[in-house]
């Protein structure tokens, strides 16, 4: 064999050996990748939901439901009881559109699980008044144009009713100047207490006027 042929043979052997080595490395990698995909697919299968019985009073009526334990109070009201007056806005507790009253205290219904409130008393906008007999806060919002599009209004009204109840109970806020005195329904107090309810239409001044009117009436 000439020196040239020997070099060519050597080169050929190196290339063949390299190709075989690359194939040997690649085949397990492909198999491993396929296995990983299968494992991920299996892991991605959602387990069946855990169901639980829950009963609570909503607007004076007793309701018993079997719910996925992940169901928020908001979805229980809207999707299971068809009480769609309570709105889903941000679904993160940042806008206040879903405000309801739970055992007399306001709460963002999107931030709490329904099954946590077995035996509780829930009041939504539907439970405050009727078209024939409006709640004073509902009537005041209409009289003072406390809304434009109206999407946030149910939460605003529920929050306002609860805020006045807090004032009557003497519960101070961040802007209360004298913690030993009963807080008053000043514009500053009302703005602070309503700060968790967002109105994208900007009807804030009218909302405060409506709440102020109701606050001036006998409880």
Mean pLDDT estimate for the chain: 88
Q: Which CATH number fits domain 51-124: 3.40.140.10, 3.30.70.100, 3.50.50.60, 3.10.20.30?
A: 3.10.20.30
What are the backbone angles phi and psi of residue 80, rounded to the nearest 5°?
A: -105, -30
Residue 99 has pLDDT above 80, yes or no: yes
Torsion sign, CA atoms 176, 173, 210, 131: negative
CA distance 128 to 154: 10
Predicted pLDDT of residue 182: 92
Give the predicted TM-score (pTM) of the model.
Answer: 0.78
For residues 52 and 69, the answer to whether their CB atoms sit within 8 Å is: yes
The pLDDT-based confidence of 30 (bands split at 50, 70, 90) is very low
Q: Give me the residue spans of the domains in the chain.
A: 51-124, 136-215
Of all residues in the chain, what percent carry a pLDDT higher than 90? 76
144 contacts 191 by C-beta, under 8 angstroms: no
CATH superfamily membership of 136-215: [2Fe-2S]-binding domain (1.10.150.120)
C-alpha–C-alpha distance, residues 181 and 175, integer Å: 13
pLDDT digits (tens, 9 = 90+) for 54-80: 999 999 999 999 999 999 999 999 999
Contacts of 206 (CB under 8 A, 6+ apart): 144, 145, 146, 147
Instruction: Specify the pLDDT at position 45.
Output: 84
Structure tokens at 59: 């607007």
């Amino acid at each position: 064999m000439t020196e040239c042929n020997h070099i060519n043979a050597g080169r050929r052997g190196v290339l063949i050996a390299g190709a075989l080595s690359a194939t040997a490395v690649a085949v397990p990698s492909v198999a491993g990748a396929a296995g990983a995909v299968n494992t991920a697919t299996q892991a991605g299968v959602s387990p069946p939901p855990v169901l639980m019985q829950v009963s609570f009073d909503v607007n004076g009526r007793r309701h018993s439901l079997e719910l996925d334990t992940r169901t928020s109070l908001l979805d229980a009201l809207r999707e299971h009881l068809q009480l769609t007056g309570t709105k889903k806005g941000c679904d993160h507790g940042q806008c206040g559109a879903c405000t309801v009253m739970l055992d007399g205290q306001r709460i963002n219904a999107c931030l709490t699980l329904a099954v946590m409130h077995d035996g509780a008393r829930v009041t939504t906008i539907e439970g405050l008044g009727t078209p024939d007999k409006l709640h004073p806060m509902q009537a005041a919002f209409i009289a003072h144009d406390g809304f434009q599009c109206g999407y946030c209004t149910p939460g605003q009204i529920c929050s306002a009713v609860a805020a006045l109840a807090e004032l009557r109970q003497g519960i101070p806020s961040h802007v209360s100047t004298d913690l030993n005195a009963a807080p008053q329904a000043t514009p500053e107090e009302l703005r602070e207490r309503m700060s968790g309810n967002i109105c994208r239409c900007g009807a804030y001044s009218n909302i405060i006027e409506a709440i102020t009117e109701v606050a001036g009436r006998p409880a």
